[in-house]
């Protein structure tokens, strides 16, 4: 019960991230996570059944190829700590931009099953510590000195 209450509180705090006033998360800080424990949690929570992680050797996914999604790698926009927390505890909030456009528009909910009732807060913190360093921002596709004109 305590685990679910803590996770529910964390989820509520995350959903209010854009709020101001009493619900503001401006001073909210998560403790440091442990990437090695995050990798263990990734497997024990069965995230590997649908996800691979760029550069990490994990058990092979068992989901159909169309349902598999790689985490990490080169992305146009860096995944922040908050992005990853939200993706884990509220996967429908932002369906992956790695899905093809037409397929993403058809989806109303994420195929990712909820883990909030079985995951501890420490596992969540460690999962993010494991995943976030796996993302690299793509280099621009142009060369030279391009400047915006005011």
Tokens of 47: 């995230």
Structural element, H or E, at residue 74: strand 73-75
- pLDDT at 50 (0 to 100): 92
pTM attached to this predicted model: 0.69
- Which of the two residues, 143 and 131, has the higher pLDDT score? 131
Structural element, H or E, at residue 102: helix 101-106
Q: Is the pLDDT of residue 57 over 90?
A: yes
User: Which has the closest alpha carbon to 72: 49, 92, 98?
Assistant: 98
What is the rounded distance in angstroms from the CA atom of residue 39 to the CA atom of residue 69?
Answer: 16
Q: Is the pLDDT of residue 61 over 90?
A: yes
What are the chain's domains?
A: 34-137 (1.10.760.10)
Averaged pLDDT score across all residues of the chain: 78
- pLDDT at 37 (0 to 100): 97
63-76 residue pLDDT tens: 998 888 899 998 88
Structural element, H or E, at residue 44: helix 35-44
Tokens of 40: 């263990």
12-48 residue pLDDT tens: 555 555 555 676 767 778 889 999 999 999 999 999 9
């Amino acid at each position: 019960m305590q685990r679910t209450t803590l996770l529910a509180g964390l989820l509520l705090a995350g959903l209010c991230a854009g709020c101001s006033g009493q619900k503001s998360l401006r001073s909210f800080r998560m403790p440091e996570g442990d990437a090695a424990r995050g990798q263990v949690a990734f497997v024990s929570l069965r995230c590997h059944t649908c996800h691979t992680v760029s550069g990490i050797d994990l058990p092979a996914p068992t989901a159909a190829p169309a349902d598999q999604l790689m985490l990490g790698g080169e992305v146009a926009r860096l995944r922040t700590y908050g992005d990853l927390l939200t993706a884990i505890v509220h996967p429908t909030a932002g369906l992956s931009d790695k899905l093809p456009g037409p397929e993403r528009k058809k989806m109303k909910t994420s195929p990712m099953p909820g883990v909030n009732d079985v995951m501890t807060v420490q596992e969540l913190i460690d999962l993010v510590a494991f995943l976030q360093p796996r993302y690299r921002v793509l280099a621009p596709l142009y060369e030279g000195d391009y400047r915006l004109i005011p």
